[in-house]
């Protein structure tokens, strides 16, 4: 049972009852799509005017967005005559780089408070959920994409068919679409169970996502395995009747790889749960040992994935004094379920904790570099995924090292 991962609490809400929902992933025995049941509407999760995720607070993610822009311009010869449209454009973290090159851009973003930041950067934004209706309205307004993209949105869509059908409509006849999303293979191999939360309705292998797009007349002609979010896929699509670009060998190779590793077999998915339980036990063992020795532990980051981890493991303020986040929209709030307070990162210098638990572990290198000063008082990092371990002075101490041995 878990709260909605991005339902951060204000101080006056701490004594109110919170809604908890089953967090249970199901796999289709026919197409192997992994999904959650839908308990809350997308309007509640994204569109209530208080959505707390802003992409621009991660330096490494901005670097990724800039590199993507450079790659697309070079690969497809984009210029001022083309239209770039991003679905789930957030705060303009990516479209700003196309805009700098003079390429016309348009964002589609359902969270009004986030879209407002993009518009302040000069990025026009449609404040709506994307699907067939929104795509038809865009066409009527003369807005069709030469490059249609969506980073980390496909998993957030409860009605996949409506969403992909909308992409078919919004894509120019010779246009290219790209989508990035966490790769189910990497999620399972890396034991990244904390990326499962109610905001993520679906989890994709390439085998499955190819079927979804094919059902709507879109061909995936290329795919890249990229390191973001613990291991993601970037897929490239075109209309079925488009002659170019040709199908890349990477498509065939990745499908063969997924089949070899059992993503077309139900038993592969069933065994995943046991790994998750072991990770929980290891993390709790480290934290219990640290607290029994009188050590102080705080968190870094307030990501949605961290809320899955903390609620599943039952980690509250009895283990973690507080967490910090660079996003000012989260500072002064409390994590859902666990009620751990969120402060500005400067709090770590003030309190000099013994251990810092990195909740957005996919950004651990960036965070370790930002927080390297904790070594001055002997502070160390705890990394929870793929399994709990101590990270000291840029080196991982043996995975099975206890807190006392690390000290």
* CATH number among 3.10.20.90, 3.40.50.10860, 3.40.50.150, 3.90.550.10, domain 31-269: 3.40.50.150
The answer for residues whose C-beta is within 8 angstroms of residue 214's C-beta and 6 or more apart is 220
pLDDT digits (tens, 9 = 90+) for 61-117: 899 999 999 999 999 999 999 999 999 999 999 999 999 999 999 999 988 888 999
Q: What is the largest CA-CA distance in the chain?
A: 66
Pairing of strands 297-300, 105-108: unpaired
pLDDT of residue 400: 46
Please tell me the total number of residues recorded for the chain in this structure.
Answer: 407
Q: Pick from 107, 157, 106, 95: which is nearest to 132 by CA? A: 157
Residues of the chain with CATH 3.40.50.150: 31-269
pTM: 0.84
pLDDT digits (tens, 9 = 90+) for 183-236: 999 999 999 999 999 888 999 999 999 999 999 999 999 999 999 888 999 999
Alpha-carbon distance of 394 to 212, in angstroms, equals 42
SS3 258: helix
CA angle 370, 313, 190 (to 5 degrees): 65
* pLDDT for residue 53 is more than 90: no
DSSP per residue, 363-402: GHHHHHHHTGGGGGGT-EEEE-SSS-EEEETTEE--TT--
pLDDT digits (tens, 9 = 90+) for 117-126: 999 999 999 9
Which carries the bigger pLDDT value, residue 241 or residue 394?
241
Q: What is the mean pLDDT of the chain?
A: 91
The structure tokens listed for 348 are: 């770590």
Is 26 exposed, middle or buried, given 0-12, 13-18 or 19+ CB atoms closer than 10 A? exposed
Instruction: Write 214-218 long-range contacts (CB < 8 A, 24+).
Output: 215/161, 215/164, 216/161, 216/164, 216/165, 216/167, 216/168, 217/168, 218/164, 218/167, 218/168, 218/171, 218/177
Residue range 295-321: mean pLDDT, rounded: 96
pLDDT of residue 373: 95
* pLDDT for residue 393 is more than 80: no
Residue range 330-346: mean pLDDT, rounded: 97
The pLDDT-based confidence of 398 (bands split at 50, 70, 90) is very low
Placement of tokens 């905001």 in the chain: 199
Alpha-carbon distance of 170 to 137, in angstroms, equals 10
* CATH number among 3.60.15.10, 2.40.50.140, 3.90.1150.10, 3.40.50.720, domain 273-406: 3.40.50.720
Residue range 30-55: mean pLDDT, rounded: 74
């Amino acid at each position: 049972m878990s709260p909605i991962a991005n339902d951060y609490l204000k101080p006056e809400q701490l004594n109110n009852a919170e809604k908890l929902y089953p967090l249970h992933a199901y796999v289709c025995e026919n197409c192997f799509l992994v999904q959650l049941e839908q308990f809350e509407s997308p309007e509640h999760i994204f569109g209530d005017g208080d959505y707390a995720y802003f992409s621009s607070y991660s330096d490494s993610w901005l670097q990724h967005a800039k590199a993507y822009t450079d790659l697309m311009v070079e690969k497809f010869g984009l210029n001022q005559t083309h239209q770039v449209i991003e679905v789930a454009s957030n705060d303009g973290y990516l479209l700003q780089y196309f805009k700098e090159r003079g390429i016309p851009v348009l964002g589609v973003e359902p969270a009004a408070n986030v879209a407002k930041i993009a518009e302040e950067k000069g990025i026009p934004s449609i404040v709506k959920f994307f699907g067939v209706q929104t795509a038809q309205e865009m066409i009527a307004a003369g807005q069709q994409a030469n490059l249609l993209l969506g980073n980390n949105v496909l998993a957030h869509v409860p009605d996949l068919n409506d969403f992909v059908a909308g992409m078919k409509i919004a894509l120019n006849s010779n246009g290219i679409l790209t989508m990035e999303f966490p790769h189910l293979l990497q999620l399972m191999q890396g034991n990244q169970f904390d990326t499962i939360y109610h905001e993520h309705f679906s989890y994709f292998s390439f085998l499955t996502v190819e079927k979804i797009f094919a059902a709507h007349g879109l061909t995936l002609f290329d795919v890249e395995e990229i390191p973001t979010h613990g291991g993601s896929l970037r897929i490239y699509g075109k209309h079925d009747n488009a002659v170019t670009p040709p199908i890349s060998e990477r498509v065939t190779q990745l499908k063969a790889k997924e089949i070899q590793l059992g993503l077309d077999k139900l038993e592969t998915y069933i065994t995943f749960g046991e790994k998750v339980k072991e990770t929980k036990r290891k993390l709790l063992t480290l934290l219990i040992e640290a607290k029994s020795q009188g050590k102080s532990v705080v968190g870094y980051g307030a990501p949605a994935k961290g809320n899955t981890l903390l609620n599943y493991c039952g980690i509250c303020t009895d283990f973690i004094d507080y967490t910090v986040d660079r996003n000012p929209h989260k500072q002064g709030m409390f994590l859902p379920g666990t009620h751990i307070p969120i402060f500005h990162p400067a709090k770590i210098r003030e309190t000099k904790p013994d251990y810092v638990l990195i909740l957005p572990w996919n950004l651990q290198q960036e965070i370790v570099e930002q927080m390297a000063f904790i070594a001055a008082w002997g502070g160390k990092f705890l990394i929870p995924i793929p399994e709990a371990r101590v990270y000291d002075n840029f080196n991982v101490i043996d995975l099975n090292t206890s807190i006392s041995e690390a000290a």
